[in-house]
Amino acid sequence: MNINEKQQEIIDEFAIYDDWMEKYEYIIELGKELEAFPEDKRTDDRLIDGCQSRVWLSTEIENGNMHFRADSDAIITKGIIGLLIRVLNDETPETVAKTDLFFINEIGLQEHLSPTRANGLLSMVKRMKMDALKASVDAAKN
Amino acid sequence: MAEGTKKPFSVREIREQFPALRQTVYGKNLIYFDNGATSQKPQVVLDAINRYYSKDNANIHRGVHFMSQKATTEFEEARIAIQKYLNAKKSEEIIFTKGTTDSINLVAFSYGELLKEGDEILITTMEHHSNIVPWQMLCERKKLVLKVAPINKKGELIEEEFDKLLSNRTKLVSVTHISNTLGTINPVKELAKKTHAVGAKILVDGAQSIQHMKVDVRDLDCDFYVFSSHKVFGPTGIGVLYGKEDLLDRMPPYQGGGDMISKVTFERTTYNELPHKFEAGTPHIAGGICLGEAIRFLNALDMDAIQRHEKELAHYAQDMLDTFEGVRIIGEAKQKTSVVSFVVDKIHPFDIGTLLDKQGIAVRTGHHCTQPLMDFFKIPGTVRASFAFYNTKEEIDTFIAAVEKSISILK
């Protein structure tokens, strides 16, 4: 499944919910299921401080692909992190850097990635893309 | 309007005057519990905005033409309405600013010019950032010392500690009348007495008080009282600095420009008299006039009945929340207004706020611009429901059910 197919899959999953609360219940479930964040990586340089919630992001390259792990103190933020990781993980640095994350708008979560929301998510996505860009530049050098 | 002629308070009738309350969000009837952040506007204020820009729009002061004189009269009548409402001695003591923050910055700059190295400013732990940062900036600029009077676990000022910090080095006490995060009502009248006893001045941050209680600046005997129009049913972008005349007279102007001058030459400029000395440039004319309208609206209401109603709402909400396991009320002062701040064990305030929003309920989550206060309670933030006189018990029932539902989903 390519990155856009993954995004479409999420859009289809959300299409069955016509009620906002159901949608959020699903996001909260995803937040609860998110892979535990390694405690040794919970460092200040990995912290993205939002006004509302805090986010930790750890980026690694595995077999030439991006591998993100992230966490938040707020469960809804965590659920959205889960969706972002599902889309972006195991993709090449170039794909991550270039991809337009259209699924966020399609499932109606754009408010969480607006600059005014200050929950750390927008900064996290920016950092994910920057890390991917750096990795793709490094890959080109080698 | 004389006390006796006030209409009996009816929440149903009041609500009819606030069109913004009659709407649905996410398919639910809006419940607006974010009044601590800003209030909704009554129809009379909306009409006044429309009327001003449709018919009366002109620049004020110095205009010879009909419209300018009309706008000037209305603007100055608004000043008088505010003066009377606050029971200030003179309308010259009412300075129009952009809001509470602007008023505090004005005092920090201008009164600050009268201070010298080593002088002290005293604030409290429960202050809003806008009553902290301007003083920090002043302290840096003039090498003053900022002192902070602590609070207890209930969120009340510890008066003995306040007394200890007060000395002849203190030049200004700047304290909130009501905490925006906790709802604590500070005993500002007593604090003013103590402050004056050491020869210092006191600024009362009224951002959260004027909409909830009758404020009499002469009875409080505060030297400055500041508030924002938008929290008291008026438009955004305008607010008030009340200051005692002799003090304002001694203070240098804050900003230079038109309106604040008496005579300008390249060699030397002399300044205008109060209140114009502090109102450089074209003010927010529509804002001032419409704030006047909001104050007249408020003045026609029975403030005692409003206070009773709001207190009842807050008690009702707090008692219900208290029955939930894991819910902790932040701010349990004996003297408290209609703010209910709470945290839920192991649940982030942001998550509750997001789920309440999706159920049509507007609350505020986060640190409420009081980070040092959050540090004191060792919490990242709270969920804050802040009520106004147009809120109802039925809305609180819906809110409580929504909180319960949110907690059960988030657990």
pLDDT (tens digit per residue) in B116-136: 999 999 999 999 999 999 999
Delimit the domains of chain A by residue range.
3-141
Predicted confidence at residue A120, as pLDDT, reads 78
Across the A:B interface, residue pairs with CB atoms under 8 Å apart total: 40
CA distance B367 to chain A (A): 8
Residue B322 — φ and ψ, nearest 5°?
-60, -25
DSSP B184: B
pLDDT (tens digit per residue) in A83-124: 999 999 999 999 999 999 999 999 988 888 877 666 778 888
Predicted confidence at residue A139, as pLDDT, reads 84
Q: Is the model more confident about A53 or about B273?
A: B273
| % of chain B residues with pLDDT over 90 | 96
What is the mean predicted confidence (pLDDT) over B18-38? 97
What ipTM goes with this model?
0.90
What is the mean predicted confidence (pLDDT) over B315-328? 96
Name the pLDDT band for B7 (thresholds 50, 70, 90): confident
Point out the residue among A20, A51, A73 whose CB comes nearest to the CB of B26. Answer: A20
What is the mean predicted confidence (pLDDT) over B10-17? 96
Whether residue B1 is predicted with pLDDT greater than 70 in this model: the reply is no
In chain B, CATH 3.90.1150.10 sits at: 3-41+302-410
Contact (CB<8Å) B348/A28:
no
Predicted confidence at residue A112, as pLDDT, reads 83
Whether residue B4 is predicted with pLDDT greater than 80 in this model: the reply is no
- A130-136 long-range contacts (CB < 8 A, ≥24 apart) are A131/A59, A131/A66, A132/A66, A132/A93, A132/A94, A132/A95, A132/A96, A132/A97, A133/A93, A133/A97, A134/A93, A135/A61, A135/A66, A135/A93, A136/A92, A136/A93, A136/A94, A136/A97
Contact residues on chain B for A74, CB-CB shorter than 8 A: 348, 350-351
Contact by Cβ (8 Å): B333, B156: yes
Does the beta carbon of B53 lie under 8 angstroms from any beta carbon of chain A?
no
Contact residues on chain A for B371, CB-CB shorter than 8 A: none
What is the mean predicted confidence (pLDDT) over B222-248? 98
| Averaged confidence pLDDT in chain B | 96
Instruction: Catalogue the active-site residues of A.
Output: 51
pLDDT (tens digit per residue) in B361-397: 999 999 999 999 999 999 989 999 999 999 999 999 9
Q: Which residues of A touch B (CB under 8 A)?
A: 20-21, 24-25, 28, 51-54, 73-77, 119
Helix axes B43-51, B285-299, angle to 10 degrees: 150
Contact (CB<8Å) A52/B410:
no
Dist. CA A100–CA B145, nearest whole Å:
51
pLDDT (tens digit per residue) in B170-217: 999 999 999 999 999 999 999 999 999 999 999 999 999 999 999 999
Give the DSSP H/E element, type plus range, for residue A70.
strand A65-72
In chain B, CATH 3.40.640.10 sits at: 47-299
CATH placement of domain A3-141: 3.90.1010.10
What is the mean predicted confidence (pLDDT) over A31-40? 94
Whether residue B2 is predicted with pLDDT greater than 60 in this model: the reply is no
Contact (CB<8Å) B350/A25:
no
- Residues sharing a CB contact under 8 Å with residue B222, sequence separation 6 or more, in sequence order: B188, B192, B202, B203, B204
For B89-231, where are the E strands, in sequence order?
94-97, 120-124, 145-149, 170-176, 201-205, 224-228
Query: What is the CATH T-level fold of the domain B47-299, as seen in this structure?
Result: Aspartate Aminotransferase; domain 2 (3.40.640)
Point out the residue among B350, B355, B359 whose CB comes nearest to the CB of A119. Answer: B350
β-bridge partners, B382: B366
The burial of B205, by beta-carbon neighbours within 10 Å (0-12 exposed, 13-18 middle, 19 or more buried), is given as buried
CATH homologous superfamily, domain B3-41+302-410: Aspartate Aminotransferase, domain 1 (3.90.1150.10)
pLDDT (tens digit per residue) in B87-114: 999 999 999 999 999 999 999 999 999 9
